[in-house]
Amino acid sequence: MKKRGSVLEWTGLFHVSPADIADIVGGFHSEMKRGLAGEPSSLKMLPSFVAKPRGSETGRYLALDLGGTNLRILAVELEGEGRFRIPAVDKVVVPGERMRGKGEDLFDFLAECILAFAGKGGEGNREDLRLAFTFSFPTEQTRVDAGRLLVWTKGFTATGVEGEDVVDLLTRSLRRKGAGFVRIVALVNDTVGTLAAKAYTDRTCDMGVILGTGTNACYVEETARITKRRGLGAGGEMIVNLEWGNFALLRRTPFDADLDRDSPNPGSQLLEKMVSGLYLGELARRVIRALMNEGLLFDGSSRDLFTTPYAFGTEHLSAIASDDFGVLARFGIGNLMENDRILLTEICRAIVRRSARIAGAAVAAVAAWMDPELKRNHTVGIDGTLFECYPGYPAHIRGALADALGPRADRVRLEPAKDGSGIGAAVIAAVVGAQ
């Protein structure tokens, strides 16, 4: 009995009630308003300098997509009428020393990868290659093809990049590596790419969301409401990158506070640290350690298990939440007592359920911001492994949408947009070409 009571006590820490959801929606609206007005806010509300595509855009582009440990390079051919082809694609792992070393080395590495791709015939015309650069970090843009990195997220710490124009840095590296024939025509956040890729084929798409290693969203805003920037043109629309990973008005547990304190960017990306794939396993590891210390798991034995930060990943969490305990072998755990299984499963599920419900509340907030009475249909293009792979994740988001919006939640459609960010960046480059 004691243990069963404890399960509820521990999982309850991660419960997101309908009242919490209402608070998140309210908090989003006040922070969005402040961010758009240029007042201090945990939501940066970054203008993208580009409107939603029409679906008629055409052209051939190279797309470079840097957002996490994987780098993707694609040749994209937009054929119009919402049709496109991807004649070639490369995926490269970004070595840890490039992510966390000198910025120049990171950008030289990107340039080398582009050159190698072009050399393999990934792209035809070497005289003038137009590159759409998906750079999935908070970037303050001044034009569609220029933008300063505000702060690294997701474990990147390469020096000399924060505060710099990343288009300039990549252009310099391209020249240094003898690839000056590549011209960067658009700088795009991955959420913006995801929205653009979905909107290219579906006119009702007005929101792009990433739920993967990191998390974030963008949406279509009226330029008149972006009061912090003058001269964006009256009566028009522009995609705005919320950088919602940094949203801070959330009820946190002591585990969240400790994880944040020990992270490379304390005090930043608080929502991301409760929601995204990079952190959920680590959060679970910390709870498991606490349960062990309380003598509630593994009978208080094996005290030296689960000691390595970030060794327990979201893939382990997914397995356990689906009752697959084999993954624990690498943590030195063989046979589990029934009570241990129940506690572990419930904790993992509670942590992921909380992630999805916070994400759902955030989606609801943005939809209600665009259309308070939800008179229209809104398609949300979503990419990222959490959404795609974690069992039951989309259903939890829908549950939160229903809590926030009631029956009108049906107006908000969640649509997978797998690997949309690279294709979408090419679409954005074409929108700009046509402007």
Residues near ligand BGC (CB under 6 A) are: 67, 136-138, 153-154, 189-191, 210, 214-216, 243, 245, 272
Between 145 and 403, name the residue whose CB sits nearer to ligand BGC. Answer: 145
User: In the complex, what is the shortest distance from the CB of residue 395 to ligand BGC, in angstroms, rounded to a whole number?
Assistant: 22
| Annotated catalytic residue within 44, 52, 65, 154 | 154
| Annotated catalytic residue within 65, 190, 206, 340 | 190
Residue 42, classed as helix, strand or coil, is: coil
Which tokens belong to 18? 């309908």
Which tokens belong to 387? 């959404």
Which helix (H) or strand (E) covers residue 75, if one does?
strand 70-80
User: In the complex, what is the shortest distance from the CB of residue 417 to ligand BGC, in angstroms, rounded to a whole number?
Assistant: 13
Residue 154 annotated in active site: yes
Between 67 and 360, name the residue whose CB sits nearer to ligand BGC. Answer: 67
Between 28 and 306, name the residue whose CB sits nearer to ligand BGC. Answer: 28
Closest CA to 240 of 420, 416, 46, 51: 46
Which tokens belong to 280? 């959920």
C-beta neighbour count of 328 within 10 angstroms: 19
Using the Cα atoms of residue 72, residue 75, residue 79 and residue 80 in order, give the sign of their dihedral.
Answer: positive
Between 6 and 69, name the residue whose CB sits nearer to ligand BGC. Answer: 69
d(CA 379, CA 290): 41
User: In the complex, what is the shortest distance from the CB of residue 399 to ligand BGC, in angstroms, rounded to a whole number?
Assistant: 23
Closest CA to 191 of 264, 80, 105, 272: 272
* Vertex 85: Cα angle to 79 and 91 (nearest 5): 145
User: In the complex, what is the shortest distance from the CB of residue 66 to ligand BGC, in angstroms, rounded to a whole number?
Assistant: 10
Q: Are strands 378-383 and 205-211 parallel, antiparallel or unpaired?
A: parallel
Between 27 and 67, name the residue whose CB sits nearer to ligand BGC. Answer: 67
User: In the complex, what is the shortest distance from the CB of residue 215 to ligand BGC, in angstroms, rounded to a whole number?
Assistant: 6
User: In the complex, what is the shortest distance from the CB of residue 134 to ligand BGC, in angstroms, rounded to a whole number?
Assistant: 9
Closest CA to 237 of 253, 254, 249, 220: 220
The helix/strand count (H/E) of the chain reads as 14, 13
User: In the complex, what is the shortest distance from the CB of residue 64 to ligand BGC, in angstroms, rounded to a whole number?
Assistant: 15
Between 118 and 386, name the residue whose CB sits nearer to ligand BGC. Answer: 386
CB distance 317 to 295 below 8 Å: no
Between 154 and 286, name the residue whose CB sits nearer to ligand BGC. Answer: 154
Burial class (CB in 10 A: 0-12, 13-18, 19+), 327: middle
DSSP annotation string for 385-420? HHHHHSTTHHHHHHHHHHHHHGGGGGGEEEEE-TTH
**Which residue is closest to ligand BGC by CB?**
214
Between 70 and 125, name the residue whose CB sits nearer to ligand BGC. Answer: 70
User: In the complex, what is the shortest distance from the CB of residue 165 to ligand BGC, in angstroms, rounded to a whole number?
Assistant: 16
d(CA 400, CA 409): 9
d(CA 381, CA 201): 11
User: In the complex, what is the shortest distance from the CB of residue 219 to ligand BGC, in angstroms, rounded to a whole number?
Assistant: 13
Between 247 and 298, name the residue whose CB sits nearer to ligand BGC. Answer: 247
CB distance 422 to 76 below 8 Å: yes
* Vertex 360: Cα angle to 359 and 365 (nearest 5): 95
Alpha helix ranges (H) inside 13-155:
18-37, 96-99, 103-119
- Write out the catalytic residue numbers: 154, 190
